[in-house]
Amino acid sequence: MLVEGLSFLISVATPLTYTQVSDLKGRRHMTIVNSAVQDHLLNLKEKGFNILALHTDGEGAISGIKEEIQKNGILFNPSGPEQHVAIVERKIRHVKEIARGYLCTLPFKLSLSLLPSLIKYATYCTNIIPSTTNSEL
pLDDT per residue over 73-128, tens digit each?
Answer: 888 888 777 778 888 999 999 999 999 999 999 999 999 999 999 999 999 999 99
- Judged by DSSP in three states, 57 sits in coil
Q: Which domains does the chain have, with CATH numbers?
A: 2-128 (3.30.420.10)
Q: Is the dihedral of CA 1, 75, 37, 16 positive or negative?
A: positive
Contacts of 68 (CB under 8 A, 6+ apart): 34, 38
pLDDT tens by residue, 18-29: 999 999 876 556
pTM, to two decimals: 0.83
- CB within 8 Å of 99: residues ≥ 6 apart: 3, 118, 119, 122
